[in-house]
Amino acid sequence: FEQSGGWIKALLEEAENERMHLMTMVELVQPKWYERVLVLTVQGVFFNAFFVLYLLSPKLAHRVVGYLEEEAIHSYTEYLKDIDSGKIENVPAPAIAIDYWRLPKDATLKDVITVIRADEAHHS
């Protein structure tokens, strides 16, 4: 119950940013119902495991988050390579991404992945 010096605001902004990553990807991928169930199941398992880890060692839990952010950067870099090579079509960016990141109206998937990767680099 001490003043956080604004830390909670930064964490809430980061959580909202991660939510927008998810909402953008859902818009792009349009997952089937069973894929959504799988994601919810994995989130449930991860949440509980992370909760226990944080109770045991907050420092280790923060390191795990940093590791996950680094893996996300690597994954988005590979995604960009696949777009550049033509393995993944560089489709127009969804409106949700254009609005959130204030991208140009003619933004593409590559633009969206680039800003998401930059967010992940900032978070790590």
Per-residue 3-state assignment (H helix, E strand, C coil) for the chain:
CCCCCCHHHHHHHHHHHHHHHHHHHHHHHCCCHHHHHHHHHHHHHHHHHHHHHHHHCHHHHHHHHHHHHHHHHHHHHHHHHHHHHCCCCCCECCHHHHHHHCCCCCCEHHHHHHHHHHHHHHHC
What is the rounded distance in angstroms from the CA atom of residue 82 to the CA atom of residue 106?
Answer: 20
pLDDT interval class at 7 (50, 70, 90): confident
pLDDT interval class at 6 (50, 70, 90): confident
Lowest-confidence pick of 10-14, 66-70, 72-76: 10-14
Domain housing 49:
7-123
Of 25, 37, 31, nearest to 91 by C-alpha is 25
Q: Is residue 2 part of a domain?
A: no
Longest dimension (CA), the chain: 52
pLDDT at 2: 66
State the CATH number of the domain containing residue 52.
Answer: 1.20.1260.140
Q: Is residue 81 part of a domain?
A: yes
Amino acid identity at 22: L
The number of domains in the chain is 1
SS3 40: helix
Q: Is residue 12 part of a domain?
A: yes
Encode pLDDT of 89-111 as tens digits.
999 999 999 999 999 999 999 99
What pTM, to 2 d.p., does this model score?
0.85
Residue 109: count of CB within 10 angstroms of its CB: 20
Q: Is residue 1 part of a domain?
A: no
Q: Is the pLDDT score of 70 beyond 60?
A: yes
Q: Is residue 83 part of a domain?
A: yes
